[in-house]
């Protein structure tokens, strides 16, 4: 087997300088010796295979070679070439110009706004990965890079799990794998098929950015990892009182021991980070000290022999069971019947997805309004009026506060405002009404038509049957494939 060195030519690639040497692999600058792809900076990752027992390294690299070519989108590096183990195993990918976020984490604690912004982008990358049926299982600062355009890029898939591929690591090894400060309790119990494990790691990362400390220390043995089954972390606000209660709520929600008590999807965690005013503060957010020894002892007694938590539906089914549904509501008097029909449609959807989160939105078309038209005779702002109307409309859905949110958007293009909101909040589905057809709509297009054409998620358009005094819903599902 060939060992990598500067100047080596293999399969049309020429190795340049060594950029990184880790315990399991080396990273090299690389170019195409055949003259192709000269405008695309590239790197080659080569596993460090010694003469001893390198089973996990070899299997992990096989896993990475299986998974990475199946991924796409801005949150993963583009794969350009693969090499097999007969000559020299390698993966050539585009070079992400930004370095890892390790140095950023070493500067922690960061300003609250900066920490939230960084984690929100990381959450978005993880949500995209989960939509592609992959759990990373080794989230840590070193495995996040950032493009010049701002998107986070996830690297190092040697411990990852793909829903549609055999889990070689689980088949060949019986010990928990991962980076000990970040692995979830169920990973310690050898569970490798729960996407909520990645949400736990995101909680650890957010805790570190906000406090400069690790919630569970830096254990070097599995014995140290085991303690997180029953020992709660120090509340972040005890380390740093200026952390708001809503942010502590998010952090401790992600760090729940039992996956059922955690966020159920990355999109839900991202939604809370984007809408702090709508985060419901529970005892987690108000917590000011660690649990007492008696409560910890009770948990230890209950969990010390724990073998596994209740298994999750694997990735796709898990995400589908907890979707974020954006519902765009027309609050004008002429849209009242359609709004009522739309609400009945949402209630029916909740029967099939009882854990869904409903984000109610209304759009004020600012191009039609002057400054003097944004307030009424009593001085009440139109935005506030619409928000109150939207809340009244949503109250009849009868969902808990944390699963029902309200946003009034403003923009010259209502369709674009809805699309942007859905994209920013990683929505899984948009539901909206459409009024009866007309010549103007036929030739000029409609809000619903633009949303259907351009949204990155599925869209359901609900119409009223013409001529019905008591309108019945006639939903027309127009699905667009979810973009990776």
Domain containing residue 236: CATH number:
1.10.510.10
| Mean pLDDT value of segment 312-341 | 78
Residues in the chain: 484
Q: Dig out the tokens for 275 from the structure.
A: 């809408």
Task: Report the candidate in 255, 219, 220, 205 with the shortest Cα–Cα distance to residue 234.
Answer: 255
Residues 118, 185, single domain; the answer is yes
Q: Looking at per-residue confidence, does 341 or 479 come out higher? A: 341
Instruction: Provide the residue range defining the domain that includes 345.
Output: 323-478
Peptide bond into 109 cis (omega under 30): yes
Q: Residue 368 contacts by C-beta under 8 Å, 6 or more apart in sequence? A: none
- Euclidean distance between CA atoms 350 and 356, whole angstroms: 7
Residue 127 CB coordination number (10 Å): 23
Residues 242, 334, single domain; the answer is no
Confidence at residue 292, expressed as pLDDT on a 0 to 100 scale: 92
Q: Is residue 398 part of a domain?
A: yes
CA distance to 37, 119, 137, 230, 410, per residue, from 199 (Å): 37, 11, 10, 18, 32
Q: Is residue 1 part of a domain?
A: no
Residues 339, 469, single domain; the answer is yes
Q: Is residue 4 part of a domain?
A: no
- Euclidean distance between CA atoms 119 and 152, whole angstroms: 10
10 membership: H or E segment, kind and range: strand 9-10
Least confident interval from 25-39, 300-314, 402-416, 430-444: 430-444
**Bridge partners for 31 per DSSP:** 14
- Euclidean distance between CA atoms 152 and 365, whole angstroms: 33
Is-contact 432 451, C-beta < 8 A? yes
E-state strands within 349-472: 357-365, 404-411, 429-433, 458-464
Is-contact 60 51, C-beta < 8 A? no
- Euclidean distance between CA atoms 259 and 402, whole angstroms: 18
Domain boundary among 300, 318, 336: 318
Phi/psi region, residue 456 (left: phi>0; alpha: psi -120 to 50; beta: rest), is alpha
Residues 107, 253, single domain; the answer is yes
Least confident interval from 20-34, 198-212, 224-238, 370-384: 370-384
Domain boundary among 76, 94, 112: 94
Q: Is residue 327 part of a domain?
A: yes
Is-contact 409 362, C-beta < 8 A? yes
CA distance to 195, 273, 409, per residue, from 249 (Å): 20, 10, 26
Residues 86, 220, single domain; the answer is no
Residue 113 CB coordination number (10 Å): 8
Residues 90, 144, single domain; the answer is no
Domain boundary among 65, 94, 123: 94
Record the pTM.
0.82
Q: Is residue 484 part of a domain?
A: no
Residues 401, 465, single domain; the answer is yes
CA distance to 75, 200, 204, 239, 296, per residue, from 182 (Å): 20, 8, 6, 19, 21
Number of separate domains in the chain: 3
Q: Is residue 3 part of a domain?
A: no
Q: Is residue 255 part of a domain?
A: yes
Q: Looking at per-residue confidence, does 244 or 167 come out higher? A: 244
- Residue 254 pLDDT class (50, 70, 90 cuts): very high
Peptide bond into 159 cis (omega under 30): no
DSSP state of 251: H
Residues 275, 215, single domain; the answer is yes
- Euclidean distance between CA atoms 103 and 141, whole angstroms: 8
Residue 337 C-alpha from the chain's centroid? 36
Residues 34, 180, single domain; the answer is no
Q: Dig out the tokens for 184 from the structure.
A: 């979830």
**Bridge partners for 459 per DSSP:** 430, 478
Residues 111, 249, single domain; the answer is yes
Q: What is the mean pLDDT of the chain?
A: 85
| Mean pLDDT value of segment 418-428 | 88
Q: Is residue 2 part of a domain?
A: no
- Euclidean distance between CA atoms 477 and 432, whole angstroms: 11
- Euclidean distance between CA atoms 224 and 409, whole angstroms: 48
Q: DSSP per residue over 458-484, as a string?
A: EEEEEEEPTT-SS--EEEEEE--PPP-
Q: Dig out the tokens for 338 from the structure.
A: 């359609």
Residues 231, 278, single domain; the answer is yes
Q: Provide the CATH number for the domain around residue 17.
A: 3.30.200.20
Q: Is residue 107's pLDDT more than 70?
A: yes
- Euclidean distance between CA atoms 118 and 175, whole angstroms: 32
Q: Is residue 35's pLDDT more than 90?
A: no
Q: Looking at per-residue confidence, does 321 or 10 come out higher? A: 10
Q: Is residue 377's pLDDT more than 80?
A: no
Residues 148, 296, single domain; the answer is yes
């Amino acid at each position: 087997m060939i060992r990598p060195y500067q100047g080596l030519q293999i399969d049309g690639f020429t190795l340049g300088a060594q950029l990184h040497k880790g315990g399991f692999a080396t990273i090299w600058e690389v170019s195409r010796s055949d003259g192709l792809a000269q405008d695309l900076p590239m790197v080659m990752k080569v596993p460090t295979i010694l003469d001893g027992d390198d089973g996990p390294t070899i299997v992990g690299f096989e896993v990475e070679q299986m998974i990475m070519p199946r991924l796409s989108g801005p949150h993963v590096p583009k794969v350009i070439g693969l090499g097999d183990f007969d000559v020299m195993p390698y993966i050539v990918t585009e070079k992400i110009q930004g370095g890892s976020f390790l140095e950023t984490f070493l500067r922690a604690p960061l300003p609250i706004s900066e920490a939230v912004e960084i984690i929100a982008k990381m959450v978005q990358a993880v949500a995209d990965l989960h939509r592609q049926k992959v759990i990373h299982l080794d989230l840590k600062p070193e495995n996040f890079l950032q493009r010049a355009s701002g998107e986070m890029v996830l690297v190092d898939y040697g411990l990852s799990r793909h829903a549609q591929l055999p889990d070689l690591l689980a088949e060949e090894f019986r010990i928990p794998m991962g980076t000990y400060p970040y692995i979830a309790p169920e990973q310690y119990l050898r569970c490798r098929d729960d996407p909520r494990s990645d949400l736990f790691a995101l909680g650890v990362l957010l805790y570190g950015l906000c406090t400069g400390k690790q919630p569970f220390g830096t254990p070097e043995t599995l014995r140290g990892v085991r303690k997180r089954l029953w020992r709660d972390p120090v509340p972040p606000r005890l380390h740093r009182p200026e952390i708001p209660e809503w942010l502590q709520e998010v952090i401790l929600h992600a760090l729940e021991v039992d996956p059922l008590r955690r966020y159920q999807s990355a999109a839900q965690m991202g939604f809370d980070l984007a809408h702090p005013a709508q985060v419901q503060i529970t005892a987690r957010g108000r917590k000011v000290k660690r649990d007492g020894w008696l409560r910890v002892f009770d948990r230890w007694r209950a969990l010390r022999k724990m073998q596994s938590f209740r298994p999750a539906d694997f990735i796709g089914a898990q995400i589908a069971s907890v979707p974020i549904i954006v519902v765009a509501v027309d609050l004008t008097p002429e849209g009242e019947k359609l709004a009522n029909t739309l609400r009945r449609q949402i209630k029916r959807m909740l029967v099939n997805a009882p854990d869904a989160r409903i984000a109610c939105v209304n759009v004020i078309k600012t191009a039609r309004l002057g400054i003097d038209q944004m307030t009424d005779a009593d001085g009440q702002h139109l935005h506030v009026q619409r928000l109150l109307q939207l809340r009244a409309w949503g109250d009849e859905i009868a969902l808990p506060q944390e699963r029902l949110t309200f946003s009034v958007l403003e923009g010259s293009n209502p369709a674009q405002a809805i699309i942007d909101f859905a994209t920013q909040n990683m929505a899984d589905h948009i539901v909206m009404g459409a009024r009866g057809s007309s010549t103007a709509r036929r030739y000029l297009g409609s809000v619903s038509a633009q949303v259907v054409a351009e949204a990155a998620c599925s869209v359901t358009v609900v119409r009223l049957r013409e001529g019905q005094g008591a309108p019945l819903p006639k939903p027309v599902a127009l699905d667009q494939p979810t973009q990776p």
